[in-house]
Each structure stands twice: as C-alpha cells, then as structure tokens.
Amino acid sequence: MEKIRVWFYLAGRDPEWKAWIIGHGISCYTRFLAFLRGDFKAWRYYWFTHVELEFVRDKMIFSSTTRGGTNGVQLRPSEDVLKHPERWMYIEIEVPCKMYGWGIEDAEAIAGKFKYGFRDLLRFFFPFLPNAKGYICSEIVSESLHLMTVVTEDEYCSFNGIISPLRLASILSKRYGEPRKVNQ
C-alpha cells in the first residue's frame, strides 16, 4: 500500500486580496450548494477553496492552479506547495501500489498539457455552459482519485461534471476521516 494525501486550502488564509475575495466567493457559493444538497456537515464545517493531491512516496503534488507563475495542470515538489502548513488541512488515504502507480503516471503524462479552467469556475454559477478544455483544481484531483478508485464516477461528476474542494472533502471524510491540520 502507498499513501496519498489530499490537501485542502483554507479560505481566508491568503494574503493576496484578489485571491482572498475569489476564494471566499467560491467557498461561500459551494457552501450554499452543500446546504441545498442537505450536506450540512460540509456546509457547517468546511471552508476550503483549493485542493491538491500529494503522492507521498514521490514527494510530488498534482493539481491545477494559476499560482507561482503557472497556469494549469502541474506536478510539483511537495515542498514548493506546502510552504505555509497553517493554511492547509489534509486527508491521508492508502491505495494499492498498482493504483498509486497509475495515479503518478497519469499526473506525469498530463502535467503542463492543460490550462486552468476559468470557464469551469463559471459553471458553478451557470451550469448550462459547456465543459471547457482546461481543469480546475478539484476537477483534476477528483479525476486522479477516480483513476485510483478512491472516488466513484458518480461522486466526482456530481454537479454538472465538476466538483468543488468542499464537496470533495465531504465525500472523502465519510470514508477516510476528517481533514486534519499538519500538526495533528
């Protein structure tokens, strides 16, 4: 068995005001959707705005972001992403070695090949928009988790083909325990 960690970025922890406003807006809206779904645990406890997937053995993190001079799907060393551990919570999951291998191979194969899916962010608010060619963080992480059989297709495509970090945390916490802070 190999370990993966799904890292969730906490809303309101970003010093850059634009990111703080956008992050809070996304978090508030996806909390509203959680309330409508009846997912009161996610609605009440989770304030996540971003998600990344860590392949623990390889010390690499996979996601889609616009930070750090990049724009899109990327695979980076863990220490480059987790510079401020107080801003993150994680869920640790053990997967079979074969599934871990599929996950890291897929991440290596598509890193740098897709842009960030700004239009997909709009699909949270306007579900009639068609799927874009890029990926948002929770979308690419859920696809990788699905490849490793951690989530089902129904779970990761639960809202018009996209999923929020908050919804992903809610799904994973039911199976693998609550998100933890780094020092727990």
Place of tokens 């191979």: 105
pLDDT > 80? residue 64: yes
What b/e string do you get for 89-121 counting C-beta neighbours within 10 Å, with b at 16 or more?
A: bbbebebeeebbebbbebbeebbeebbbbeebb
Tens digit of each residue's pLDDT (9 = 90 or more) over 89-128: 999 999 999 999 999 999 999 998 888 767 767 776 676 6
Q: What is the mean pLDDT of residues 6-23?
A: 72
pLDDT at position 22: 67
Nearest-angstrom CA–CA distance, 136 and 143: 11
Query: What is the residue extent of each domain of the chain?
Result: 2-181
Nearest-angstrom CA–CA distance, 94 and 2: 5
pLDDT at position 156: 63
Quickly state the pLDDT bin for 49 (edges 50, 70, 90): confident
pLDDT at position 124: 65
Averaged pLDDT score across all residues of the chain: 81
For residue 131, count other CB atoms closer than 10 A to its CB: 13
Percent of the chain at pLDDT > 70 equals: 74
Tens digit of each residue's pLDDT (9 = 90 or more) over 126-165: 766 777 677 888 888 988 998 898 887 777 665 556 778 8
Percent of the chain at pLDDT > 90 equals: 33
